């Protein structure tokens, strides 16, 4: 159990070493914090950015999609050279965070385009209107497929696992855009 807790910010100093702990709201999950070592120009944020890779499925199982998306800008507000994401094959750089932010923002744009383009009524004409769950599932699948196809045209060979997890990311973003 922790012996000390904090709200939004805590500075830890031991000798000449400093760590800045920041809670900037829900991103991957409630309580997920930014850990910044200013002297070393090192930033750690677990389960949001995966250097060189797509996130794990469903935006790394993010509890808050808008918070997850916003966390990329919050990350880039720090002055860091080295990034620790907590998973996979390597530490990252500022460029890795910028690349993943671009990937995520492309998915947001592609999800928005799908929501504006895919014709619910046309899908109903194909699958029928009697089974409402079949109709809605077919609509969601068409939205997800369009978002994923558009995204993978650019990102399919740039990030490890993008071909595997982009459809699940698109689904999560579409669901968030529809609800929020």
Q: Which residues span the domain enclosing 84? A: 9-179
| 3 in any annotated domain | no
| 61 in any annotated domain | yes
| 69 in any annotated domain | yes
| 25 in any annotated domain | yes
Domain count, the chain: 1
| 22 in any annotated domain | yes
Per residue of the chain (180 residues), what is the pLDDT tens digit? 778 889 999 999 999 999 999 999 999 998 999 999 999 999 999 999 999 999 999 999 999 999 999 999 999 999 999 999 988 889 999 999 999 999 999 999 999 999 999 999 999 999 999 999 999 999 999 999 999 999 999 999 999 999 999 999 999 999 999 998
| 2 in any annotated domain | no
Contacts of 62 (CB under 8 A, 6+ apart): 27, 28, 29, 47, 68, 172
pTM listed for this prediction: 0.94
CA dist list (Å): 124 to 12, 30, 144, 148, 177: 58, 39, 17, 22, 22
| 66 in any annotated domain | yes
């Amino acid at each position: 159990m922790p012996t000390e807790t904090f709200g939004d910010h805590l500075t830890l100093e031991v000798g000449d070493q400093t760590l800045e702990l920041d809670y900037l709201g829900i991103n991957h999950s409630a309580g997920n914090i930014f850990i910044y070592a200013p002297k070393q120009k090192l930033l750690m944020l677990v389960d949001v950015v995966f250097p060189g890779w797509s996130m794990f499925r469903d935006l790394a199982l993010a509890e808050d999609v808008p918070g997850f998306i916003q966390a990329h800008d919050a990350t880039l507000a720090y002055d860091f050279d080295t990034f620790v994401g907590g998973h996979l094959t390597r530490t990252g750089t500022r460029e890795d965070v910028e690349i993943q932010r671009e990937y995520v923002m492309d998915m947001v744009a592609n999800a928005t385009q799908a929501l504006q383009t895919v014709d619910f009524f046309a899908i109903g004409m194909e699958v029928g209107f009697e089974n409402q769950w079949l109709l809605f599932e077919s609509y969601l699948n068409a939205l997800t497929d369009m978002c994923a196809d558009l995204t993978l045209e650019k990102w399919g060979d740039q990030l490890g696992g993008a071909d595997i997890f982009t459809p699940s990311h698109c689904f999560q973003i579409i669901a968030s855009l529809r609800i929020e």
